[in-house]
Amino acid sequence: MSDSKEGDGSLPAVRVAAGSAHRTDANAVADAAREGAETSTVRRTGSTGVEALEPLLVVTTDDGTAFYAAPSHDRAGEIVSAAESGEFAEDADAIVEGEEGTPDEDGALPTPEEGPLSVGRRRALGRCGWVDPSEPPTDSLLEAVREDPDDVREGMHKLGLLGRGRGDARSDRSIAEGWEEARDVEGDPVLVVNANDADERNRTDRTLLEGDAGGVVDAAMAVGHLLDAEDVVVYAEEESLGTERLSRAISRYREAHGEAPQLAVGPERFIAGEPTMALESLEGNDRLEARLTPPGPETHGLYGRPTVIHTPRTLLQVREVIRNPDGFDADDADPGTRLVTVAGDVDAPATVELSTGSSMRTATDAVDHDSVKMAVVGGQFGGFTRRLDHTYSAPALDGAGLGSEGVIELFGEDRCALAAVGDRANFASQENCGRSGPCREGTKQMTDLLRQIYSGKYKDDMLRELTRTMQNSSMCHFEESAARTVETAMSAFDREFAAHADGRCPSGECDGQSLQ
């Protein structure tokens, strides 16, 4: 087999799309495809976001693109042979015909009309599953930002794009205002790409890093130029597939443009993704503690320099704005799209991209699941709800007491609300950084009060007052969101809590023992 089969641009082209969860199986399918290939190019790409389909064999000919979910070794060879004979193998899970099914190699994954890949919109996710994950885009943003940076900054300010994810220092706030603040402060600005999110439920940034690290690096360098930043630093997990692909993307970007970000790694801990604790990690501190704000990082950040901290999700939104400003509505309270991972009691998690006017329920079409008793929206410390009809925008989620961090967990009828919130409260009591007294002591008290319910003592007024106190005195998002989780669970499932105090678990999940 010649090296020309690895992505020379000729057709048929075969892509094997998968993330880290299916890395070994994807390599086996790719090897099988290469064994049977005579003229086809075969390459590995990142996840499309829909893990139930992986490893996903994506076959493109002059007629379009066909999708085959999790084929066997022999089946992969048959699919490639059929493509080289000028036809698609039978039983494709989806086919996109014509020009829409044959974008160039630097384009976006063709979108079927039905099935999980059709859910939502693919903008920030567009290249995931289609491109070489570490290859910088040919349509680099550098030319656009160098040509007229003032115009780009002004356009971003008028649009009012909000930061995405708990690791973004401008989460649910205008990023352009943060840029302006950092540029106005004395000192050399720095951009930190916060790609370290250890919440296992949240696959959003991980999907982007594993599927389009090159796009993330390109967007980071463009934003760095808009900030007049002296340094751009990508902060990632110590060992992961996403970090591997980031490292290669940075090297390739440097070869192409003569400049590139620095890559720094941090511990795989939940708190290490909080923006100011990410700065503590980057400065080499062994003990991670949240910093007092104000001043925020834009004023006093990495080593005292003005620092903008964005997640990969935010950066790829910026990339889309610069490439297609007419595709965003400045009249929206939350312009653009948001990525969300649907997890919990599902056959396999899926990460999809929703317009901010879409209902949360839309995202659940990407997964197989049974009836839903409750959902936790917002990750580790999301808000509990019985309803999935809220729009997936920051203002709507905040108004409903839910989180915009990028996760919707679904739970079936056999799941207990008290057990679920108890696990989260216990996590908060053990994993908080310890700097804030109300957080350190408040999370312990929350856990103790929840444990007491199992022994017949449901002190609901005390729990509600405690959550209010924690939210009003919070030093960082950890404490505020941990309290939100308990508060929303009590509001939505008060009767279920009271039933446990009477010695009965309505769902049947609990064994009557206190939280461990």
Return the DSSP state at 54: P
How far apart are alpha carbons 92 and 77 in whole angstroms?
14
pLDDT of the chain, 516 residues: tens digit per residue: 333 345 455 789 999 999 999 999 999 999 999 998 888 999 999 999 999 999 999 999 999 999 999 999 999 999 999 999 989 999 999 999 999 999 988 899 999 999 999 999 999 999 999 999 999 999 999 988 999 999 999 999 999 999 999 999 999 999 999 999 999 999 999 999 999 998 889 999 999 999 999 999 999 999 999 999 999 999 999 889 999 999 999 999 999 999 999 999 999 999 999 999 999 999 999 889 999 888 999 999 999 999 999 999 999 999 999 999 988 988 899 999 999 999 999 999 999 999 999 999 999 999 999 999 999 999 999 999 999 999 999 999 999 999 999 999 999 999 999 999 999 999 999 999 888 888 899 999 999 999 999 999 999 999 999 999 998 887 788 888 999 999 999 999 999 999 999 999 999 998 645 444
pLDDT value of position 413: 94
Q: Give the angle 272-203-435 at the CA atoms, nearest 5°.
A: 20
Q: Are 148 and 322 within 8 A, CB to CB? A: no
How far apart are alpha carbons 157 and 152 in whole angstroms?
9
Tens of pLDDT, residues 49-67: 999 999 999 999 999 999 9
pLDDT value of position 388: 94
Q: Are 206 and 167 within 8 A, CB to CB? A: no
The separation between the first and the last C-alpha atoms of the chain, rounded to the nearest angstrom, is: 56
How far apart are alpha carbons 105 and 466 in whole angstroms?
55
pLDDT value of position 474: 77
Tens of pLDDT, residues 132-165: 999 999 999 998 899 999 999 999 999 999 999 9
Handedness of CA 483, 484, 486, 490 (dihedral sign): positive
User: Domains along the chain?
Assistant: 3-100 (3.40.30), 142-326 (3.40.50.11540), 337-411 (3.10.20.600), 417-501 (1.20.1440.230)
Q: Are 475 and 277 within 8 A, CB to CB? A: no
Count other C-beta atoms under 10 Å from residue 340's C-beta: 29
Starting at the edge strand found earlier in the chain, the sheet holding 407-411 runs 350-355, 337-344, 407-411, 374-377, 383-385
How far apart are alpha carbons 52 and 17 in whole angstroms?
12
pLDDT value of position 9: 58
Measure Cα distances from 328 to 265, 285, 386, 396, 451 in Å.
34, 40, 31, 18, 47
pLDDT value of position 511: 66
